[in-house]
Structure 1
């Protein structure tokens, strides 16, 4: 049997740790140390919040505007759920949201993106967590 290395044709998270993620596509890697939204269709934009307490409904409305199948919300170093009122835009469009700590969100994003799903990961990266 000939083994081949895994190779994703989509933007993927190549590495991660407390306070950073390594984002890559086509062999090019970039270390990101700020909250970010990434998508399996190549989307990458800063998510203007550093801490869970700074989140607003507008942060989640941005995700709904991207129209993914599913949003993976990485809530930081520990599991925290956003208030249901923040999720109205996602619910109105029947877009699912899964909440987990940011490191688990990185792993889950890679699996779903590798399956060809249109998934968006919204990752809180707290610079003080290092």
Structure 2
């Protein structure tokens, strides 16, 4: 039986995470970030869950995902629909998970070639 590492062709991959950092394509990130299935990883200017604003979710629209995986930090917390109304209006699905589950789910969907984006909240 042949074992082979399955990585997205030309896409982003999350290789590791802990409570204070996420490694994307082998590079550590210690602040909240947006990880699109392809293209540049972007800083996401939110450092605490209570500080989330509608503008934080509007930043995601420019990346044109079909699905957003929201990693809400160390524990699962749900943003109100009013905060991500721009995603709802654009018919972009959003699933909320804790950070670890979001990283795993993002990798599975990205490896399938899905237009997925991970919005990962790393609280400082």
Of the candidates 85, 109, 117, which is equivalent to residue 88 of structure 1? 85
**What's the counterpart of residue 113 of structure 1?**
110
Structure 1 runs (4+) deviating above 3 angstroms are none
Could you state the TM-score of these two structures normalised by the residue count of structure 1? 0.90
Equivalent pairs counted in the alignment come to 123
1:23 paired with 2:24, answer yes
CA displacement at 1:64 relative to structure 2:
2.1
Gaps of 5+ in 2: none
**What's the counterpart of residue 98 of structure 2?**
101
CA displacement at 1:43 relative to structure 2:
2.9
The answer to which of 58-67 and 114-123 deviates more is 58-67
Q: Which structure's residues are more often strand, by fraction?
A: 1
Structural mapping, 1:60-99, within 5 Å: 60-99=57-96
Aligned Cα root-mean-square deviation (Å): 1.1
Q: Which structure's residues are more often helix, by fraction?
A: 1
CA displacement at 1:2 relative to structure 2:
2.5
Equivalent-residue separation in structure 2 for 1:43 and 1:3 (angstroms): 29
Could you state the TM-score of these two structures normalised by the residue count of structure 2? 0.94
Q: Label 1:65 to 1:7 Cα distance change in 2 as closer, same or farther (>3 A).
A: closer
Equivalent-residue separation in structure 2 for 1:4 and 1:125 (angstroms): 31
1:40 paired with 2:37, answer yes
Equivalent-residue separation in structure 1 for 2:18 and 2:83 (angstroms): 27
In structure 1, the residue corresponding to 2:79 is in which secondary structure? coil
**What's the counterpart of residue 5 of structure 2?**
5
Equivalent-residue separation in structure 1 for 2:29 and 2:39 (angstroms): 15
